[in-house]
Amino acid sequence: MKKRQHQALQIALDGPAGAGKSTVAKIVANRLQLFYVDTGAMYRAIAYKALKKGASMDDEATVSQIAKRTEVVLDHSEARRIWCDGEDVTQEIRCPEVSRAVPVVAAYPKIRERLVELQRMEAKRGGVVMDGRDIGTHVLPEADLKIFLTATPEERAKRRWIELKKAGKDISFQEVAQDMIQRDRVDTEREVSPLKPAKDAIILDTTGLSVEELVAKILVLAEEVIKDDTI
């Protein structure tokens, strides 16, 4: 596949925590030579900064002001580092404390407004695979391909627990499962850009699928979009 055929291709990849969005999106972006944008990491960076400053997550005004003054930079190299005001926070933003705080932070309208603007600017750089919870419905509503990933709650909690254990986090499976239930509730019930599939999204259940199997499915769908554009 030649890069010039899909240099402006936009793929929106949405779904709940643990559905496999980030893992799959990175691989798909690499295979198609597109930029990868992890929007969840951007919200995590803001939550991390607010926690570091000792702000209460319930203090919307203070957290929103922190977000307004915070610079979040995504590294598009293979390292895929996340920088928050010049600090590499790639590992720090994946801790359980940030995971618990980020749903609250992500529900604040002013924070979403600021980060959505940054996300759309990233998309203007060229072809992109962007993952999150409102990409197909709000951030990139005109994306060429919209996919909504899902999986059983048990499967998603298991994936996140294994991920945290590999990162050296001492946390029980039950704690991860409870955090995920809470995150799902907040994401689906928030007033601003709630988690839901776009009307024209293709829903893929990732339960029982390997990463390569899921990547293969998405690449086939992308090929179909590229083929339709060239006819």
Q: Residue 64 is which amino acid?
A: S
For 79-137, how does the pLDDT look when each residue is reduced to its tens digit (9 = 90+)? Answer: 789 999 999 999 999 998 998 999 899 989 999 999 999 899 889 888 999 999 999 99
For 16-39, how does the pLDDT look when each residue is reduced to its tens digit (9 = 90+)? Answer: 989 999 899 999 999 999 999 999
Q: Is the pLDDT of residue 227 over 90?
A: no
For 144-170, how does the pLDDT look when each residue is reduced to its tens digit (9 = 90+)? Answer: 999 999 999 999 999 999 988 888 888
Structural domains in the chain? 10-219 (3.40.50.300)
What is the predicted pLDDT for the residue at 6? 59
According to DSSP, the β-strands at 87-88 and 10-14 are: unpaired
What is the predicted pLDDT for the residue at 92? 93
Sign of the torsion formed by the C-alpha atoms of 20, 203, 133 and 113: positive
Nearest residue to 13 (alpha-carbon basis) of 203, 226, 228: 203
State the distance between the two ends of the chain, measured CA to CA, in whole angstroms: 15
Q: Residue 99 is which amino acid?
A: S
- Give the DSSP H or E segment for 147: strand 145-150
Mean residue pLDDT across the chain: 90
